[in-house]
């Protein structure tokens, strides 16, 4: 990701590429290169952002021939593991796919029947690596096609826990965002698991302490997990879990925020705010600030500040203000 962020061709996409994890859709300057847009998804790791999917979309006027790309990939990967052809009136659509233990490469191509096809996009994906070490015994299966964004060890009062964040989207579908047909039906998962010590009757094991699933046919108002982090929000020196959820039409804003921690082996709710409207959440030690617009025409903002009350062991409303709409 550091190399991509440093590319001059992506300078106009710098803000979208800045987060530690996320997705971006960037238009490239028109030039000699046949690539018109780039869609990518990356995840946070200990060494920084790691690319998990890259989709290169070609300019229709400059797109290379399908046979050219197929030949190049076949030289290094051998014959494709998947070949699909679909016809729609006078158009034909090809999908060719190669994969090994770690990566997957896909060519998408299109052409008029009885004429040579041209590549419309090339997708490179990193397949999920198996969990290792103490996480190897984790077996989360919240829904079919579950894929982990990340798993993070968190120690609460000397007891080992794991925070998991996952999705039903493949890396390529995540990179495509709203353009993917799977985006609307995606499912998300956040969970806190506790590593229980071994006893005389069983070995040590992971047990789910708290789980939140979004999506699915039984959800009346579909939500998506927008943001997950473990950080010290209360200011007591121990990490807390922060989850922001978004609705179908909320975009990159939140309609629910959750802050939790673990004390004495029990889950503690520090703050839960539902039915938010296009909210932006700001976190600071001992403070959570939620900004919500008033109405759809930028009539102003409602800014609610919640402070951590050590006596109650939770966040309480400390101040609520109304800010005027910005001058136009």
Distance from C-alpha of 276 to C-alpha of 259, rounded to nearest angstrom: 15
Q: Where are the domains of the chain?
A: 2-126, 146-324
Note the pLDDT of residue 22: 86
CA atoms within 13 A on the CB side of 169: 28
Residue 267, number of CB atoms within 10 A of its CB: 14
Instruction: Provide the b/e sequence for 226-258 (b: ≥16 CB within 10 Å).
Output: bbbbbeebbeeebbbbbbbbbbeebeebbbbbb
Note the pLDDT of residue 54: 94
Spatial CB neighbours of 289, under 8 Å, sequence gap ≥ 6: 281, 282, 283, 303, 304, 305, 306
Confirm if 40 and 172 have CB atoms less than 8 A apart. no
Confirm if 171 and 125 have CB atoms less than 8 A apart. yes
Distance from C-alpha of 264 to C-alpha of 196, rounded to nearest angstrom: 14
Distance from C-alpha of 270 to C-alpha of 258, rounded to nearest angstrom: 8
Q: pTM for this structure?
A: 0.85
CA atoms within 13 A on the CB side of 229: 14
Spatial CB neighbours of 43, under 8 Å, sequence gap ≥ 6: 21, 49, 50, 52, 149, 150
| Per-residue pLDDT in tens (0 to 9) along the chain, 328 residues | 788 888 888 888 888 888 878 899 998 887 657 888 999 999 877 666 788 999 999 988 888 888 888 888 888 889 999 999 998 888 899 999 999 888 999 999 998 888 888 999 999 999 888 888 899 999 899 999 999 989 999 999 889 999 999 999 999 999 998 888 888 889 999 999 999 988 888 888 999 999 999 987 777 788 999 999 999 999 999 999 999 999 888 888 999 999 999 998 899 999 999 999 999 999 999 999 999 998 766 678 899 999 999 999 999 999 999 887 666 5
CATH 3.30.160 fits 2-126, yes or no: yes
Note the pLDDT of residue 327: 61
Confirm if 291 and 311 have CB atoms less than 8 A apart. no
* Sheet containing 266-273: order of strands: 223-231, 240-247, 256-263, 266-273
Residue bearing tokens 């070949």? 83
Q: Report the phi/psi class of residue 61: left, alpha or beta, with left for phi > 0 and alpha for psi in -120 to 50.
A: alpha
| DSSP SS3 for 12 | helix
Q: Which of 240, 253, 250, 209 is nearest to 306 (CA)?
A: 240
Distance from C-alpha of 177 to C-alpha of 159, rounded to nearest angstrom: 37
Q: Report the phi/psi class of residue 185: left, alpha or beta, with left for phi > 0 and alpha for psi in -120 to 50.
A: alpha
């Amino acid at each position: 990701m550091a190399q991509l962020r440093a590319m001059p061709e992506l300078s106009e996409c710098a803000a979208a590429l800045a987060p530690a994890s996320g997705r971006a859709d960037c238009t490239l300057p028109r030039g000699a290169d046949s690539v018109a847009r780039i869609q990518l998804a990356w995840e946070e790791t200990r060494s920084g952002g790691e690319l998990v999917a890259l989709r290169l979309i070609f300019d229709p006027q400059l797109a290379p021939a399908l046979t050219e790309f197929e030949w190049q990939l076949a030289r290094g990967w051998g014959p494709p593991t998947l070949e699909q052809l679909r016809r729609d009136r006078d158009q034909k659509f090809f999908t060719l796919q190669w994969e090994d233990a770690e990566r997957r490469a896909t060519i998408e191509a299109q052409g008029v029947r009885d004429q040579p096809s041209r590549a419309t996009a090339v997708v490179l994906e990193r397949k999920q690596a198996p969990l290792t070490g103490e996480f190897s015994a984790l077996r989360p299966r919240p829904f079919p096609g579950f894929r982990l964004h990340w798993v993070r060890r968190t120690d609460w009062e000397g007891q080992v826990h794991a925070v998991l964040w996952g999705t039903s989207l493949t890396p390529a579908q995540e990179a495509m965002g709203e353009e993917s047909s799977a985006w609307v039906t995606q499912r998300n998962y956040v969970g806190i698991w506790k590593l229980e010590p071994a006893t005389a009757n069983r070995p040590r094991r992971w047990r789910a302490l708290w789980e939140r699933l979004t999506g699915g046919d039984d959800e009346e108002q579909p939500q998506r997990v927008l943001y997950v982090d473990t950080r010290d929000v209360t200011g007591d020196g121990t990490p807390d879990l922060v989850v922001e959820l978004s609705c179908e039409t909320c975009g990159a804003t939140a309609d629910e925020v959750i802050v939790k921690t673990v004390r004495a082996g029990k889950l503690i709710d520090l703050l839960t705010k539902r039915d938010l409207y296009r909210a932006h959440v700001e976190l600071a030690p001992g403070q959570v600030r939620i900004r919500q617009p008033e109405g759809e025409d930028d009539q102003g903002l409602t800014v609610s500040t919640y402070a951590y009350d050590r006596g109650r062991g939770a966040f309480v409303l400390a101040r609520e203000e109304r800010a005027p709409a910005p001058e136009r």
